[in-house]
Structure 1
């Protein structure tokens, strides 16, 4: 899938994530990110994973857990919309989802991330061409399956930038 989503396929702040994604096949981009994230996680110590760059900010491990959970939520939405389900889906409170990650090891986070990403790629590889442009409503925003796929990649790119600039610099 090489076609970027048009601005008619998403609304609001979601475009900030989509604009971060480079040109190319979205599945190839997600696979390259998987390799990059796996290598990053393999290089981290538990001490680095527990680091917060400021009081009240997430631990690095929580950021990684958030990336995986954000992908889970976006992939679920993508699945529903790609299959033609028009049921409006609610938003989610990202703070509620952080609970377990501070106590996880880096190895557990890496395993979880990899499982989520592999599931996403399997889903995307199986989508028929017409499914990519199907739209639905999530968090009161109309969005296509294609825009969600790009949003998954852009969300990770955004947070990798934060990790590099705030946690590992």
Structure 2
């Protein structure tokens, strides 16, 4: 089983996401999270998917799109670090990503399908990473991080947003 990262494997900033993940099997957690996303967003009507809980905040469709886009980017970071890339990997502008995608033009079913495909790709990627590579360190947005930390950040980022939607902080 892939072990939880140690605090010396990441910048304290990433604790916000890592602390959202319970101890246990991270791969099983990722699979359960995939099912949870499906259940949560399938229950929403298209109109509910467009509602904002406050002015200037993302609606549910945009949140799901953001989760999906972020997992795409973070999976690339994880792949790069696991493969030994020592490049300081760039961040991304999450607001620009959301604003330039027009998630409101998509149905919830389309957004769920997209998330499911990205999560499946992440799970598939995990099978290609050797055990020794999980401890490889790299740099993401000027912060040192190991490959396994990035996996926990992927899961924790999703959990963070799910908890905001359910109004249950980590």
Class of the TM-score when normalised by the shorter of the 2 chains? over 0.9
TM-score, normalization by structure 1: 0.94
- Name the residue aligned to 1:74: 74
Say which SS state the counterpart of residue 5 (structure 1) adopts.
coil
- Name the residue aligned to 2:40: 40
Q: What are structure 1's unaligned runs of at least 5 residues? A: none
Selected match of 2:139 from 117, 137, 140: 137
- Name the residue aligned to 2:3: 3
C-alpha displacement at 1:2, in angstroms? 3.4
C-alpha displacement at 1:112, in angstroms? 0.6
C-alpha displacement at 1:9, in angstroms? 0.9
TM-score, normalization by structure 2: 0.94
Write the mapping of 1:150-161 to structure 2, written as runs, cut at 5 A.
150-161=152-163
Q: Which whole-Å CA distance do the structure 2 matches of 1:69 and 1:146 have between them?
A: 19
C-alpha displacement at 1:40, in angstroms? 1.2
Q: Which whole-Å CA distance do the structure 1 matches of 2:104 and 2:12 have between them?
A: 31
- Name the residue aligned to 1:57: 57
C-alpha displacement at 1:39, in angstroms? 1.2
**Count of paired positions:** 166
Q: Work out whether 1:104 is the aligned partner of 2:106.
A: yes
- Name the residue aligned to 1:164: 166
Q: Which whole-Å CA distance do the structure 1 matches of 2:127 and 2:96 have between them?
A: 31
Say which SS state the counterpart of residue 109 (structure 2) adopts.
helix
Runs (4 or more) in structure 1 with deviation over 2 Å come to none
C-alpha displacement at 1:165, in angstroms? 1.8
Q: Which whole-Å CA distance do the structure 2 matches of 1:114 and 1:164 have between them?
A: 20
Say which SS state the counterpart of residue 22 (structure 2) adopts.
coil
* Superposition RMSD in Å: 1.2
Q: Work out whether 1:118 is the aligned partner of 2:120.
A: yes
Say which SS state the counterpart of residue 165 (structure 1) adopts.
coil
Say which SS state the counterpart of residue 85 (structure 1) adopts.
coil
Q: Which whole-Å CA distance do the structure 2 matches of 1:12 and 1:19 have between them?
A: 11
